[in-house]
Structure 1
Amino acid sequence: MSRSHDVLRADTAFGFLDRTTASERLHHPVLISNDDDNTMLRAILEELRRSRSFTFSVAFVTTDALAMLKQALLDFPGHGRIVTSTYLGFNSPDALRELLELPGVEVHLNPRPGFHSKGYVFDQDAGTTAIIGSSNLTSNALLRNREWNLRFSALPEGDIAEQLRAVVENQISESVPLTHELIDAYGLEYARRPRPTVVPVDGFLPTTTGEPSSSVIVPNAMQEEALEAIAALRAAGERLGLVISATGTGKTILGALEVRQARPRKMLFLVHREQIVDKALTEFQRVLDDPADAFGKFVGPVQQLDRRYVFATIQSVSRPDALERIAAAGFDYVMIDEVHRSGAATYRRVMERLTPDFLLGLTATPERTDDVDVFELFDHNIAYEIRLQAALEADMLVPFHYYGVQDFQDDDGNLIDDTAQLSRLVAPERVAHLLRMIDRYGHKGPVRGLIFCSRIQEAQEISALLNEQVMNGARLRTEPLVGADSMAHRARAVHRLEAGELDYLVTVDLFNEGIDIPSVNQVVMMRQTQSRIIFTQQLGRGLRLAQGKDHLRVIDFIGNYANNYLIPIALFGDSSLNKDQLRRKVLGAQTAGAISGLSSVNFDEIGREKILAAITATALDSLANLKSAYREMYQRLGEQPWLMDFARFDTVDPVVLATARTNSYWDFLVKAKAVDTAPTPAQRGFLAFLDHELLPGKRPHELLLFQALLEGESLTRSQFRALLRAQDLTDDTRTVLSVEGVLSLRFFTKQEITKYGAGLVDLVGERYQLSPAFLDEWDASGTFRAHVRDAVATGLYLARHRHGWSSGLQQGRRYSRKDVCRLLGWETNQQGVMFGYKIDMATQTCPIFITYQKDEEVSASTQYEDELLDPQTVRWYTRSRKTLESRDERAIAADEVPLHVFAKKDDAEGTDFYYLGQAAPREAEQSQMSDESGAMLPVVTMKLDLEAPLEDSLYEYFLRPTS
């Protein structure tokens, strides 16, 4: 009997018979209810990755659910079958067309009335796995609805496996293959069915008031919070307020609702572009219960300053003759849209002239690459903040499904991206590649799209070439729009797109901000990402809610760009400058299948490798980036930020800020010219120790003891252990001794002790006390005390929020060799003498470090063929010139010491390794390997069974070769 069958039997016994049964929990039954990470989407993706074939039998299928699964279905190497229906007319013709065009997937239409099945069956090496319950193939059913679905597995000989095979074959036998002709016929019937007509408006839904012809715009919960926060700011006597609201979340509607609650005597609304005036005026009219003649404009020759609500362009109002006509207190309420532009002289003139009771600024991007400090202009009064990820989770925007795909590659293997010559950018082959990707990932129904190019001429020629092509049975209709086009021409083109007369507008950076095209449901990016702000702005062009639009598709062509790393920074809203954190989000998105509510991020194989390679290669933590992050936080707060500020605002990783380029955060402030006075040599050593060793928060024990001593407590060993127990932390003798070794510096190497100086804590008898050297500096400097307290508070915050308040190693997280020595309780740091693995006799532990892809320069005698055989098994080789009789190797093979396995993909990832978990050895055998001269050397090889399987994304990451 195969091992996989043994695993399945044990997992089944664990799930159905006795939960104390030892099992690997690869195939155990699980109730999937869409709680936290236990979602149907994650479960389906996980099963697809380990299956040979699949059958889905689902009554209802939506295009947004297919968009979530698209990359996984495209990458699936086996054969698939999907049985669905036209029951109740739920499935749209577009969803059926998308199903029909999935490569390697048969689609069958079951005509039986009442077809309402919801089952997912997967054929795998070990047997059959099925997920059966309440979830159809819709985005809400896969992620959000309260569902009950049972996942279970069976051996091929099992009766339930036979029952599943029988019911699947019966359903298919009574079904008909789906064809375009069937879809066309169904489409005629579908078009006659009535559809809901509720139209969401910029994150708000109209609520009827009882009058047949009237409605009231009512904010959702997030806007309600924003309105309360603005009202509180005004009630506190503040005259300035800033609202940061992501693109597409309805800043103008929010402003109108604020005016409705404030009821000013007279209001001025300022915008930067003429065509926005009419749109803003119209939206305010929909919200405010005032007659039409209460609204006026101040644009060019139209100067209706006598109206209660005046909508004006900054160009018109800032003219000297216009400003003279406006009394300083003429408006008691002023609102400025896109206020990040307010550093310009025109805005300054207006803001210096007018003295309203309250001035509210609205922006999606307060962080600027220039020297404008938007926060300072508004006295750092941030009334409310709605970032993109939060807006998506609150359903203020439509979900997006992002596909990062490789740009066109010619027959010689050369990548043709936007760094190429124009003639190659607009080559017919590249246009054909563009069309293939749009066909593969794009909507099958009506498209309202934007295509962003890198150059004006490229946009014009791409548009001309596209207009010669046919897609979805019709000739493409596109129009280029560039900066030289008049406002009237732009407006006509946008109107034609929204009216369905065009499929795409092809442009460069024309639509980054200041224009609303709610119907846009597809964005194509054919240029490299130069700025995360611009990327987010262009993504935001398609995120507005609109009738008949349930999601946005984004197709991004990824070339050989050094700044590819900006893409995940923008998509995940990650400003940490932490490579490991960013890499984890890229990998995690593939496992979970969704981010920020119902959105998803997908990369084809090559695109993902290019993103990960860019993250590895870039100097995310450059001094320039760190200074920029510091400047942004300083502008937000209006004063020097501390490490805790970066942690609580979840911006740059405080550990990166404090340690990437300097010894400590105080040293960084000096280097950034934020402070003049540097720490003394002794202070520098203590702070370097705190920021490098304790701030990361990988074990909170040292921080808790040190914090207690700083607060004047006097603790004995037994009291410290009681403190740890009260905090639900391990308090065994080995851990306590390890804490003492770290705080006294006994744990560290001579070189590290030279760097850090004296220890922080001494043990006198059975009582801990702060070291005299530390107390001298503590008593001498208030600045030093502030930095120490900041490091301790931030370290404890990270220990709780990043590392789960644990002292143990966590699978999937990264650790250095020194971290491992410390967390395993070793008496000293032995990172320099590990040579791949080492048994510590005192703790009886053995960490094993694997570099999965060896550098070509590594000697032949150390080119071990370590590999992951499956998500829970590693084939491992000992050092060469070792036999089964060698002391350490014999102990390892006999499972006499706990084994902890760590791995990194290659040396380019740095010094940290992913923790794969504790492992048990089996099948140890004597083998051989050759050295540089071809001579054969003895080596021991064995399999290591991990306690828990790796997450699919991490497993696949190690298996895929570096590009």
Structure 2
Amino acid sequence: MANFDYGELDSQLNQADNLVAEIHSSLLNGYVDENRFPAVSDLGPKLLTNQEGNQIYNQIKHELLTCESYTFAVAFITDPMLAALKPTLKIIADKGVHGRLITSNYLYFNKPVVFHELLKIPNLEVRIAEVDGFHQKGYIFQHPGYQTIIIGSANLTKNALLKNYEWSMQVNSLDNGYITNQISENIEQEWTNSQQLNQSWIDNYQTVYELNARDNKKAQRQIIKGQPGHIGEKIVPNRMQADALAQIAKLRAAGKGKGLVVSATGTGKTYLGAFDVQKFKPCRMLFLAHREQILKKSKSSFFKVIGGSRGSYGLFTGNRHDDQAKYLFATVQTLSKDKNLRQFSPEEFDYILIDEVHHLGAESYQKIMDYFHPKFYLGMTATPERSDDFSVFKVFDYNVAYEIRLQQALEEGMLCPFHYVGISDYQFADASVNTEIANYNNESKHRNRQKESFVLEHLASEERVQYILEQTEYYGYSGDVLHGLVFCSSVEEAGKLATEFTKQGYPARALSGSDSIQERQKVVQKLETGEIKYIVTVDVFNEGIDIPCVNQVVLLRNTNSSIVYIQQLGRGLRKAQGKEYVEVLDFIGNYKNNYMIPIALTGDDSCSKDDARKTVEIEPVIGLSMISFDEISKERIYQSLRASRLDDMRKLRDMYKDIKARVGRAPLLVDFYMANSVDPVIIANKKNNYAEFLLSEGEKIQLTEYENKVMTFVDRELLNGKRRHELLLLKRLLELRITTGKEVRHILEEDGCNTEAQTLASMQRILDLTFFNKNASPSRSDYGGKALVEWDSENETYSLNEEIWHALQTNEWFKRLWKDAIEAGLLRARKYKTATAFTVGEKYTRKDAMRLGNNEINVTAQNIGGYFFNEQNGFIFVTYNKSNKISESIRYEDTFVNDHTMHYYSKNNRRLTSPDIKKFTDGQRKLLMFVKRSDADDDKTFYYLGSCKYLSGSAKQEELDGKPIVSMDLELKTPVEYTLYHSIIDQQE
């Protein structure tokens, strides 16, 4: 081996079978010398650790989707991990992929439910090892001519495949390889000696398991008591609640009499309120809600936290008037009646807490708030946004004390994880029926009543419900008993579905807004006890009523609102004894609003189609929550995304109004950023600049023509925050018109920024506009035609031009917008590294690359094509999936060989001796690689994958469309992160 050089290896590879050559190359690369023997495929050995996005789960999922068959040998399996893999296992089973799995009853770790669920998986044969101490952890995937094997420390559990720091080695071997034969012989021996899994074996195991598990119940109870939020029997604030309490106290210390907490359902808002009341020590407290059921649960929670005499806690409802209670829990409907309200003095309560405060627009709520004058009002809600003009934020003087949204709560482990599966809705044999149903749902505001009965008949038909129940049975639920909640489109549909569910063996009840509180409570109790399997409703359970036992949520409706979608998803996210996850099954029809689904699931309000598409493509993991789509539902979302405009003016205007209602004035760009709303760059650049957007919304802004052009420059060029240098200099010049170069370097260094001469010179070229060509777009004249900041080389000082300085002193709107853009840019800059010009995994335009790469002028107006060189850098731009519409002569087949090597093609009419080819190979410049998946939606941004190097000897002369072209291999310094890599190479349009 030691005598090999690349040329000798290359010669051998050319003479060998391609697969043998790839394995050969990968072995030399992985086990001999990665620099001397570059890999030519992705078949080399890898260490999988679950660190830095390197989840073992992702690799196993990828191998499953690309294999011909698979075999798992794992001692321990948990239901949550098996449930997470079910969508993938179903997809490959439908394609005819067969699987085998060997497991055991070792230490009685595997619960009986795991074995029940394994029997459901199609095309999977399961056996139980008979050997004592079976402790294998291996995953084997058969590909055409070779096997991929993952062996190490990871069992088939969520922690092992997603969270724990594991060591698992992935290797590839030809079918006749020694390691393959060894493993195959071992597997076959185990398989032959094992027992086939069947229901009889499970029944026997259930009995033995319960006998062995009984001794562990006491220990399990201790573990539950020790979970966050409990110290022994005492309830203490979790991390989120502690942070929120500190912020509320800060509000009161500042003299504020009102505070608003925005917190996702299930994150402990009620306990948070109790902790704050305990801290405040009021003489009397009033807790307001719109449902008696909420009051009873809240009263119990407050007693657990505050303690004291039970007589100090009372209800004020239609049925009870405990008006002397120190801690009074009242329904709004009862208290708002004049005779009841007058029983109390306006100063009766020094602390009033209003739950589900987004209902404040109702006259009854406002009547109560106008009457009482407490020392402090606390409002709590998961969804403060409203579709009318009423502003909850205004009522609370725009004092948002704390905010935590669903995705953050999931990542913090505050909620029960969900397994979301997007499933294609049932398709009737008669295509016209499917069209009628789609049209009916897409036109929800203007439905044709004559067609309604026809559509409802099919939505609740025997065949559709049978299909739905087949999916719910396969995907299952966490725990021993099914507690399901179904959301549909209308009251009529809910009734018909409940009837058909019951008829097919799944007892169900429909509930609507017309049902009394007592009736709802009876039905909920039946669900909790298992007397019925499903509650079918429209929106009764969107909010307010918690049923912690719910372990399966079924969505059978078009998505018209992200807020409602999250409310319904959230019904299953309450933690409960014996519930490890909630299964969310979303039956996706051919609906125009499907684009909302990935946006709602990830909470991404950036208005980026690319980010929404990425959610569908890579199916991200949020905390321990999983997202999966079947192929048809994916395509339906893609279609919806293609037809939608996420950043159209109507949507931006709605977002603008939401933030304006939140802050009580014309919002600044910083406000959008802080509220996790639309990306400030998108709203600022919808018009020439944000000032013009504000003008279009009726704000009275007056800027001179020059001031307007300067704001256009800041919003277009600097607001993105991709380099901090210009922003930090402008921030300094807000305080002093003139500052020294030494002072600027100090400011930059304090922020961790690069202060090399080339970067400082580039910063100055941007601010004096010499970077912008006169005849290009944007040109210098577009930005006012003269330097914003001037550099005095003799005195080594920077100075803001006189006209801008004067405007900052005299025009309040200009100063506000100028300062806001700088602050928003610096906030946005947090996602980018400071010490390097580019951040791996972030997105850049060609113009960004020219600016941050210290090019002297913006050359992107020219057709620079796939690459451009200056003295320091080579900028390589790859569109991975090229459109069929472009010329054959430029449809280069740039291809990832593996996650750190690209087989790359030059521009056409190039030979090995061409000057630009030498710039790739001579090592005189740093090569920077930027890649985008495709030209979909005219996206002009590229992911920066990092620096790369030319692999010596790899350049070859080829021909494309009759023209000479050069191919070569480029190796990235750092492998592409897994999800991004597969998002690029697995592109679907």
Residue 537 of structure 1 is matched in structure 2 by 567
Q: 1:466 aligns with which of 501, 504, 516?
A: 501
Residue 442 (1) aligns with residue 476 (2): yes
CA, structure 1 residues 476+688, in 2 after alignment: closer, same or farther (shift >3 Å)?
same
Residue 64 (1) aligns with residue 90 (2): no
Residue 444 of structure 2 is matched in structure 1 by none
Q: 2:721 aligns with which of 674, 692, 697?
A: 697
Aligned-pair distance for 1:182? Answer: 1.7
What CA distance in whole angstroms lies between the structure 1 residues aligned with 2:256 and 2:757? 56
Q: 2:411 aligns with which of 383, 386, 393?
A: 393
What CA distance in whole angstroms lies between the structure 2 residues aligned with 1:926 and 1:790? 53
Residue 833 of structure 2 is matched in structure 1 by 804
Residue 350 of structure 1 is matched in structure 2 by 368
Moved more, 67-76 or 199-208: 199-208
Moved more, 601-610 or 697-706: 697-706
Residue 761 (1) aligns with residue 778 (2): no
Aligned-pair distance for 1:205? Answer: 5.3
CA, structure 1 residues 433+163, in 2 after alignment: closer, same or farther (shift >3 Å)?
same
Q: 2:202 aligns with which of 168, 179, 183?
A: 183
Moved more, 676-685 or 175-184: 175-184
CA, structure 1 residues 791+263, in 2 after alignment: closer, same or farther (shift >3 Å)?
closer
CA, structure 1 residues 696+138, in 2 after alignment: closer, same or farther (shift >3 Å)?
same
The RMSD of aligned alpha carbons is: 3.8
Q: 1:480 aligns with which of 510, 531, 534?
A: 510
Moved more, 32-41 or 321-330: 32-41
* Residues 459 and 493 in structure 2, CA contact (< 8 A), matched pair in contact too: yes
Residue 487 of structure 2 is matched in structure 1 by 452
Residue 472 of structure 1 is matched in structure 2 by none
Query: Counterparts in 2 of 1:113-124, with a 5 A limit?
Result: 113-123=132-142
Under a length normalisation based on structure 2, what TM-score does the superposition of the two structures give?
A: 0.85
Under a length normalisation based on structure 1, what TM-score does the superposition of the two structures give?
A: 0.87
Residue 676 of structure 2 is matched in structure 1 by 650
What CA distance in whole angstroms lies between the structure 2 residues aligned with 1:721 and 1:236? 37
Residue 85 (1) aligns with residue 104 (2): yes
Query: Counterpart of 1:556 in 2: which secondary structure?
Result: strand
Residue 879 of structure 2 is matched in structure 1 by 850
Residue 604 (1) aligns with residue 647 (2): no
Instruction: Tell me which amino acid in the other structure corresponds to 1:902.
Output: V
**C-alpha deviations, 1:266-320, integer Å up to 9, x for none?**
2222211233333333433444433343333222253221222322211111011
Q: 2:397 aligns with which of 356, 373, 379?
A: 379
Moved more, 918-927 or 417-426: 918-927
Residue 630 (1) aligns with residue 646 (2): no
* Residues 850 and 866 in structure 1, CA contact (< 8 A), matched pair in contact too: no
Instruction: Tell me which amino acid in the other structure corresponds to 2:553.
Output: V
Residue 744 (1) aligns with residue 760 (2): no
What CA distance in whole angstroms lies between the structure 2 residues aligned with 1:784 and 1:168? 73
CA, structure 1 residues 843+657, in 2 after alignment: closer, same or farther (shift >3 Å)?
same
Instruction: Tell me which amino acid in the other structure corresponds to 2:157.
Output: T
Residue 906 of structure 1 is matched in structure 2 by 935
CA, structure 1 residues 310+30, in 2 after alignment: closer, same or farther (shift >3 Å)?
same
**C-alpha deviations, 1:115-166, integer Å up to 9, x for none?**
2333334455796554444432222233334x33232425447765554444
Residue 817 of structure 1 is matched in structure 2 by 846
Percent identity for Structure 1 against Structure 2: 37
Q: 1:240 aligns with which of 258, 277, 296?
A: 258
Q: 1:106 aligns with which of 121, 125, 128?
A: 125
* Residues 8 and 155 in structure 1, CA contact (< 8 A), matched pair in contact too: yes
Aligned-pair distance for 1:427? Answer: 3.8
* Residues 880 and 894 in structure 2, CA contact (< 8 A), matched pair in contact too: no
* Residues 523 and 542 in structure 1, CA contact (< 8 A), matched pair in contact too: yes
Query: Counterparts in 2 of 1:652-671, with a 5 A limit?
Result: 652-659=678-685, 661-671=686-696
**C-alpha deviations, 1:356-411, integer Å up to 9, x for none?**
23322221111222222212212233333332223223332211111112222344
Residue 827 of structure 1 is matched in structure 2 by 856
Aligned-pair distance for 1:540? Answer: 1.1
Aligned-pair distance for 1:710? Answer: 5.0
Moved more, 322-331 or 152-161: 152-161
CA, structure 1 residues 205+764, in 2 after alignment: closer, same or farther (shift >3 Å)?
closer
**C-alpha deviations, 1:826-871, integer Å up to 9, x for none?**
433333432743544666735445373526xx46656836464655
CA, structure 1 residues 803+287, in 2 after alignment: closer, same or farther (shift >3 Å)?
closer
Query: Counterpart of 2:572 in 1: which secondary structure?
Result: coil
Q: 1:504 aligns with which of 534, 547, 556?
A: 534
* Residues 296 and 305 in structure 1, CA contact (< 8 A), matched pair in contact too: yes
CA, structure 1 residues 844+70, in 2 after alignment: closer, same or farther (shift >3 Å)?
same
* Residues 836 and 849 in structure 1, CA contact (< 8 A), matched pair in contact too: no
* Residues 418 and 454 in structure 1, CA contact (< 8 A), matched pair in contact too: no
Instruction: Tell me which amino acid in the other structure corresponds to 1:404.
Output: G
Residue 255 of structure 1 is matched in structure 2 by 273
CA, structure 1 residues 358+788, in 2 after alignment: closer, same or farther (shift >3 Å)?
closer
Residue 306 (1) aligns with residue 306 (2): no
* Residues 587 and 954 in structure 1, CA contact (< 8 A), matched pair in contact too: no
Residue 275 of structure 1 is matched in structure 2 by 293
Aligned-pair distance for 1:113? Answer: 3.1
Instruction: Tell me which amino acid in the other structure corresponds to 2:688.
Output: N
CA, structure 1 residues 702+20, in 2 after alignment: closer, same or farther (shift >3 Å)?
farther
Aligned-pair distance for 1:86? Answer: 1.6
Query: Counterparts in 2 of 1:931-950, with a 5 A limit?
Result: 938=963, 940=965, 942=967, 945=970, 947=972, 950=976
Query: Counterparts in 2 of 1:764-779, with a 5 A limit?
Result: 764-765=792-793, 767=796, 768-779=798-809
Instruction: Tell me which amino acid in the other structure corresponds to 1:67.
Output: A
Query: Counterparts in 2 of 1:562-573, with a 5 A limit?
Result: 562-573=592-603
CA, structure 1 residues 853+628, in 2 after alignment: closer, same or farther (shift >3 Å)?
same
What CA distance in whole angstroms lies between the structure 2 residues aligned with 1:679 and 1:13? 66
CA, structure 1 residues 3+689, in 2 after alignment: closer, same or farther (shift >3 Å)?
farther
**C-alpha deviations, 1:558-582, integer Å up to 9, x for none?**
2233322322222212222333444
Aligned-pair distance for 1:61? Answer: 1.0
* Residues 104 and 130 in structure 2, CA contact (< 8 A), matched pair in contact too: yes
Aligned-pair distance for 1:668? Answer: 2.4
Structure 1 runs not aligned, ≥5 long = 209-214, 470-474, 930-936
Moved more, 150-159 or 320-329: 150-159
| Equivalent residues, number | 934
What CA distance in whole angstroms lies between the structure 2 residues aligned with 1:203 and 1:633? 37
CA, structure 1 residues 514+201, in 2 after alignment: closer, same or farther (shift >3 Å)?
farther
Aligned-pair distance for 1:336? Answer: 1.5
What CA distance in whole angstroms lies between the structure 1 residues aligned with 2:807 and 2:302? 60
Instruction: Tell me which amino acid in the other structure corresponds to 1:628.
Output: D
Residue 290 (1) aligns with residue 308 (2): yes
Query: Counterparts in 2 of 1:304-343, with a 5 A limit?
Result: 304-343=322-361
What CA distance in whole angstroms lies between the structure 2 residues aligned with 1:93 and 1:899? 53
**C-alpha deviations, 1:736-759, integer Å up to 9, x for none?**
554343322233243422321123
What CA distance in whole angstroms lies between the structure 1 residues aligned with 2:742 and 2:292? 73
Query: Counterparts in 2 of 1:123-142, with a 5 A limit?
Result: 123=142, 129-142=148-161
Query: Counterpart of 1:541 in 2: which secondary structure?
Result: helix
Aligned-pair distance for 1:587? Answer: 4.2
What CA distance in whole angstroms lies between the structure 2 residues aligned with 1:914 and 1:886? 30
Aligned-pair distance for 1:51? Answer: 4.9
Moved more, 309-318 or 230-239: 230-239
* Residues 223 and 254 in structure 1, CA contact (< 8 A), matched pair in contact too: yes
Moved more, 440-449 or 945-954: 945-954
* Residues 878 and 939 in structure 1, CA contact (< 8 A), matched pair in contact too: no
Query: Counterpart of 1:528 in 2: which secondary structure?
Result: coil
What CA distance in whole angstroms lies between the structure 2 residues aligned with 1:489 and 1:4? 67
